């Protein structure tokens, strides 16, 4: 029988678990100034993540999805983007949003339940957090289609989790991106768990990267704890997309070191030994070791960074706690460009606090 086609999935890694170079390093690994800045972003994000958890546990923040363990994926991908590109994220990409310029205060406001936090000053072209699983994949295809139609050299970057690759919206988005050769890069964080469902119970596919093949899209797997590898792969994919080469899918291997959200207890479905083993592969210590070995980082700089992060986060927290809460009428302000008449009277009542049964406003 003739073989009509063959496929393979490349896997890329440059730093081992101890932060030592394994094999020839890419061009971006020699840019120690950029890697140092990425390290700073990762440390700030993890410190902020810890503060967010503390605020939630003390009733000062809503349910929060920790991103601890995926910092290298977020900053590595964002570092390959240009300001005019569009980032579409789920609820676990706080680090990516920080790296794109969303402020600590804006993120606190959003996770405090105030939609005004989505109206971030920078970057205006990025999309708000998508809570529903995989639906933003279709939004990303729409954005990329618009970029191509307008002949703009922009890329839509869609970040999602491994569980989202089992949703129909993901496959529909991949199919559209492939057939239209859109400037879009899908970044799948394979953190091994979709809430309590392990990777092995989600799909029989050997890799998640190979799910791109059926859509005619190149897929690649990368060590998501290795920021050098993530940045290298993302730079290639985005340059290809920006120059008209079409979409790509990146599967970044990682591990969800925290609970799914603050409403979850992961100890009920995974072992402590598994989590301990995963902590040995985490990305921040790996990059720190590499920078120390290259003479690009020092213990005094580490202490100064931690102090600076603490001060920034404390200032943002105080500003958040002092921020006036949203008024009831604001629940109507983020639904429509022009509020339908059937709801307009309700908004007026919310503004003046009066009661009305609404019987004469039925439409």
Task: Tell me the catalytic residues.
Answer: 256, 260, 269
CA separation for the pair 12, 22 (Å, rounded): 10
Place of tokens 């923040």: 61
Which two structure tokens, joined as six digits, stand for 94?
A: 């706080």
- Give the side-chain half-sphere CA count within 13 A for 207: 21
In DSSP terms, which residues pair with 92 in a beta bridge? none
DSSP per residue, 180-201: TT-SEEEEEEE-SEETTEEHHH
CA separation for the pair 168, 251 (Å, rounded): 18
Q: 87, 81 in Cβ contact below 8 A? A: yes
3 state SS of 152: coil
Number of other CB atoms surrounding residue 6 within 10 Å = 5
CA separation for the pair 87, 89 (Å, rounded): 6
Distances in whole angstroms, Cα of residue 15 to Cα of each of 141, 238, 272, 275, 334: 33, 22, 25, 21, 44
């Amino acid at each position: 029988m003739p073989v009509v086609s063959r496929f393979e999935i490349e896997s890329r890694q440059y730093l081992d678990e101890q932060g030592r170079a394994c094999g020839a390093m890419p061009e971006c690994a020699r840019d120690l100034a950029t890697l140092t800045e990425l390290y700073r972003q990762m440390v700030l994000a993890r410190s902020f993540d810890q503060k967010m958890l503390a605020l939630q546990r003390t009733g000062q923040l809503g349910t929060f999805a920790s991103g601890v363990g995926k910092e290298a994926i977020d900053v590595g991908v964002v570092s390959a983007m240009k300001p005019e590109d569009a980032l579409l994220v789920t609820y676990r990409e706080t680090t990516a949003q920080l790296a794109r310029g969303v402020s600590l205060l804006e993120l606190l406001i959003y996770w405090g339940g105030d939609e005004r936090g989505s109206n971030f000053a920078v970057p205006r072209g990025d999309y708000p957090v998508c809570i529903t699983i995989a639906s933003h994949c279709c939004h990303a295809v729409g954005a990329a289609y618009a970029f191509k139609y307008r002949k703009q050299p922009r890329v839509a970057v869609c970040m999602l989790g491994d569980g989202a690759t089992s949703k129909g919206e993901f496959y529909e988005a991949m199919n559209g991106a492939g057939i239209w050769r859109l400037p879009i890069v899908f970044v799948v964080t394979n953190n091994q768990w979709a809430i309590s469902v392990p990777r092995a119970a989600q799909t029989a596919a050997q890799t998640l990267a190979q799910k791109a093949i059926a859509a005619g899209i190149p897929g690649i797997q990368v060590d998501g704890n290795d920021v050098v590898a993530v940045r290298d792969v993302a730079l290639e994919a985005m340059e290809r997309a920006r120059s008209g080469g079409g979409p790509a899918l990146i599967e970044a291997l990682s591990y969800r070191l925290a609970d799914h959200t603050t409403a979850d207890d992961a100890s009920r479905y995974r072992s402590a030994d598994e989590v301990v083993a995963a902590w040995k592969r985490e990305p921040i210590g790996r990059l720190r070791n590499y920078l120390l070995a290259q003479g690009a980082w020092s213990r005094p700089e580490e202490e100064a960074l931690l102090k600076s992060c603490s001060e920034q986060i404390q200032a943002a927290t105080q500003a958040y706690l002092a921020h006036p809460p949203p008024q009831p009428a604001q629940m109507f302000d983020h639904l429509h460009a022009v509020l339908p008449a059937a709801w307009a009277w309700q908004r007026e009542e919310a503004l003046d606090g009066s009661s009305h049964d609404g019987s004469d406003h039925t439409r």
